[in-house]
Amino acid sequence: MKNELLKIGPFTIYGYGLMIAIGILAAYWTGEYRAKKYGLEADHVFYFVIWCVIGGFLGAKILYLITDIKNILANPGIVLDFADGWVVYGGIIGGILSAMLYSKIKGLKFLSYFDLLIPSVALAQGFGRIGCFLAGCCYGKETDGWFAIVFHESGYAPNGVKLLPTQLISSGLDFLNFFILIWFAGRKKADGQIGGLYLIFYSIGRFVLEFYRGDLNRGSVGMLSTSQFISIFTVAAGVLIFVLCGRKTHQGQSEAG
């Protein structure tokens, strides 16, 4: 668990940034391969990735600013700190909205590309959480159990104490989500259902895992963390998307019959 992986003169390669980069590249390559497999225009994948990365980073930063508004008002300088202060749900929302906007501009069927690329999002998140593990952010609660990790050089997690490795658990869930979505892609009944499943699986996993997080600066809504509160709505949205898309296709087939 060391964020500074390699120094080359004045340049430093950080584990968190490296994993984010690997995740983005893996998402792009996977999306391009699957676009060719399912007969969609692979050339658009590159631009979807660019738009979603930009929109995702903006969304992640904006939601962080909203959840930590009190500290920001007290110390406005932290807005310019790009090494910290990102909320995953903001990135997901920002990325989806960016994809919708790009689809609208190019006249593409959003739900088709939504299903195509959302497994790649889960894949990228899996690598991103490994980056969190290397940096020590998003750490878990203290534990006396055997399933624990001890940080020694983290600038985020408390050093020298046994913590639940929530980053690795989250990474494992993201990779599992990716493989489930890929498996279901060939069995879906309608466009949009893969996107709906992603929202359901990610939201449930995130809601549960939040109980074991030890970093307190995540915002809260009543007894729930901000992410848990958002998870309630995203899992509901996922169920709604999955059901309505399937029902619309079923109705279309019935009318055609």
Residue 249 has a CB neighbour count (10 Å cut-off) of 16
Q: Average pLDDT in the 162-186 region?
A: 96
- How many angstroms separate the Cα of 38 from the Cα of each of 42, 85, 113, 175? 10, 37, 10, 22
Instruction: Check whether 226 has a pLDDT greater than 80.
Output: yes
Per DSSP, 147 falls in state: S
pTM of the model: 0.88
Q: Average pLDDT in the 33-38 region?
A: 93
Residue ranges of alpha helices (H) inside the chain are 15-37, 43-67, 69-74, 88-106, 110-135, 166-185, 193-209, 226-256
Alpha-carbon gap, residue 98 to 63, rounded angstroms: 15
pLDDT of residue 8: 77
For residue 134, give the amino acid letter.
L
pLDDT in tens, 82-125: 555 668 889 999 999 999 999 999 999 999 999 999 999 999 99
Q: Which residues pair with 162 in a beta bridge?
A: 150
pLDDT of residue 247: 82
First to last CA, the chain: 59
pLDDT of residue 254: 47
pLDDT of residue 47: 96
pLDDT in tens, 146-170: 999 999 888 888 999 999 999 999 9
Q: Is 163 helix (H, G, I), strand (E, B) or coil?
A: strand
Alpha-carbon gap, residue 124 to 176, rounded angstroms: 12
